[in-house]
Amino acid sequence: MGQVAGKVAIVTGGASGIGEACSETLAREGASVLVTDVDDALGEGVIDRIAKAGGKAHYLHHDVRDEAAWPGVVAEAEKRFGRLDIVVANAGIGIMAPIESMTLADWQRQQAINLDGVFLSIKHAIPALRRAGGGSIVLMSSIAGLRGAPGLAAYSATKGGVRLLAKSVALEHAADGIRCNSVHPGIIATPIWGKIPTGAEGNRRNAPIDPRERAAAVVPLTRVGEAQDIANGVLFLCTDAANYMTGQELVIDGGMTAGGRPPPRTQ
């Protein structure tokens, strides 16, 4: 308890899955959390649970693509909680299709949320983090940002972009005491898998993927990841224990990227 006591965090896409687990974990460890998302019902649920557990949080409707609204989001964190120390740029979507047939609209939607949204999160948070004397920015990438996968070219392009964005931001703002790292989850059981658009347009997949089934086949630790597994890593990057860590990649994938190829199933 208390690993981020007194700190103030913004978590984008904080209403569901990994963002929800990050919001609840940071709050449980003593941070005041501004949860932002476009799903208001889920977002309100997250802050209710945090309040019932004795934590401090507030929910704000915000689409990460909306640059005009970003200054208001940062101002809300500072006005309500007094400062800003932590930004978890987590909001993201996944659209799978072969690159040859992917529509430009699908490509652009993914870029806008997964990459433009992360850029805007950083750009608008930096002045407030500087005012607080430094802080921690955590960018949600993926193992798809470390290596390629068929059907994931557009998603990988966004997550690879996030990976290098973290490194450049880390170097630009190291002297301000602002750290920036990327987190690379493997296959995590969250609602995102059920939201992957299916259907004929752009030759998308015909059926959603079951993450537990997929993980059973390719994860060395033989289980799917849980959102809490990722929130634990995010928490670490936000604590003072990670004070000397910036521009780095934290991979949390049950060993998926440890070898060149997925290990053969033995049972």
Q: Token digits for 256?
A: 């998926």
> Is 59 tagged catalytic?
no
Beta carbon of residue 54, minimum distance to ligand NAD (angstroms, whole number):
24
Out of 55, 92, 135, 161, point to the residue binding ligand NAD (CB under 6 A): 92
Instruction: Please give the size of the binding site for ligand NAD, defined by CB under 6 A.
Output: 29
Among 8, 19, 57, 73, binds ligand NAD (CB under 6 A): 19
Q: In what order do the strands lie in the sheet with 32-37?
A: 56-61, 32-37, 8-12, 86-89, 135-140, 178-185, 249-252
Reference 11, options 23, 27, 28, 24; nearest CA is: 23
Give the residue carrying structure tokens 């002045």.
127
Q: Which is nearer to ligand NAD, 132 or 187 (CB)?
A: 187
CA distance 156 to 61: 27
| Residue 13 interacting with ligand NAD (CB under 6 A) | yes
For the bound state, the minimum distance from the C-beta of residue 126 to ligand NAD, rounded and expressed in Å, comes to 19
Question: Per CB under 6 A, does 91 bind ligand NAD?
Answer: yes
CA angle 254, 35, 212 (to 5 degrees): 25
β-sheet bridge partners, residue 89:
139
Q: By CB under 6 A, is residue 129 in contact with ligand NAD?
A: no
User: Among residues 23, 25, 32, 90, which is the contact residue for ligand NAD, using CB under 6 A?
Assistant: 90
Residue 42 or 132 having the CB closest to ligand NAD: 42
Q: How far is CA 161 from CA 2, 34, 118, 125, in A?
A: 33, 25, 10, 19
CB of 244 to ligand NAD, least distance (A): 25
Q: What is the DSSP string of 150-173?
A: TT-HHHHHHHHHHHHHHHHHHHHH
Binding characters for ligand NAD, 208-247, by CB under 6 A (x = yes): ----------------------------------------
d(CA 164, CA 167) in angstroms, rounded, equals 5
Residues that bind ligand NAD (CB under 6 A): 12-13, 15-19, 37-39, 63-65, 90-94, 113, 117, 140, 142, 185, 187-188, 190-192, 195
Residues annotated as part of the active site: 155
